[in-house]
Amino acid sequence: MDRLSLGVFCFVLGMVLAHAASGAEGGLRGGKILLLGDSLFDCHEGKDRIEHPVGEKLRALRPGVAWEIVNFARGGMWIGPANATAVEGVAEPLFETETTGWYFRVLERCSAADAIIVEFSGNDSKVYSPEVFRERLGALCDRLVKDYPGARVFLATGMYLDPDHSSGYWRTPAMVKDWRPGESRNTYLRPYYEETRRLAKERGFGLADICQRIKAETEGGNWDLRMRLDDTLDASRDAEHAGDMGWFDNIHPNLRGTDVMADVLVKTLLGLDGLKPSSREECR
């Protein structure tokens, strides 16, 4: 091997080793992360809001790297655009119209990002079918790619409810074909999560599969990851509600659940395995 070839070989080898040493495996190496979504990212306040454990975990895993996490998720939000029909249990859409709404206020306040995590489905499932949800999520992703050139896009699924600590779900009108009132909310939300996974795969986006991880945690015995009735964090009254599945039926994460969610987001951003512990089965 002549000197020129040897020099090229050493340069390429150095680049490979430097990448391996970073441990990122294609993941982010710092920067600004924008969170968009609903109440799963917006159900706590102050230091308990999800951007704080996300930041702490990123700094712990990648010390000395600059991170900024901005959270523009809003409780009750769905993608939209809005329609003329009022729907119980949802608030404002991300898009009031194609040119107005919270999305454009976010764009004004955060005009650049290195990565964007998108978590929608729960409120969308009250407004339109999984097929329409896919269209709306795809249109949102098109906007993000256009408005945030160069940003990495990550899609996230939502919560999984422990069957032993939740009651049947009732939704009228139901947006999921062949779903029967009283079946589990996991069954109702499944097609929305499937559309999220499918779109992430087709577009080459990262996937933060929160549902899969929560399911794995639950099956491993770590089931206490959700708030109690009326959005309370108080688990001390559980004994008073023995057999009352409605007491445990809240879909929002408690502080432990938020910490698990943050772990999934962080490891997905860094190209690590955010699903452990996991059976790797489809979340059902």
> What tens digit of pLDDT does each residue of 181-225 get?
999 999 999 999 999 999 999 999 999 999 999 999 999 999 999
Confidence of residue 14 (pLDDT cuts 50, 70, 90): very low
Percent of the chain past pLDDT 90, that is, above it, reads: 74
pLDDT above 50: residue 270: yes
For 242-268, the pLDDT digits (tens) are 888 889 889 999 999 999 999 999 999
Domain ranges of the chain: 28-269
CATH assignment, 28-269: 3.40.50.1110
Predicted confidence at residue 61, as pLDDT, reads 95
| String of DSSP letters for the chain | --HHHHHHHHHHHHHHHHHHHHT-TT---SEEEEEEESGGGSSS-GGGSTHHHHHHHHHHHSTT--EEEEE---TT-B-----SS--TT---BS-SSSS-SHHHHHHHH----SEEEEE--TTGGGTS-HHHHHHHHHHHHHHHHHHSTT-EEEEE------GGG------SS--STT--TTS-HHHHHHHHHHHHHHHHHHHT-EEE-HHHHHHHHHHTT----B-BGGGB---TTGGGGTT-GGGG---SB-HHHHHHHHHHHHHHHTTS-TT-S---PPP-
Residue 82, pLDDT score:
87
pLDDT, tens only, 105-147: 999 999 999 999 999 999 999 999 999 999 999 999 999 999 9
Confidence band, pLDDT 50/70/90 cuts, at residue 232: confident
Q: What is the mean pLDDT of residues 65-88?
A: 92
Please give the mean pLDDT across all residues of the chain. 88
Is 230 a residue whose pLDDT tops 50? Answer: yes
pLDDT of residue 2: 54
Model confidence at 22, in pLDDT bands (50, 70, 90)? very low
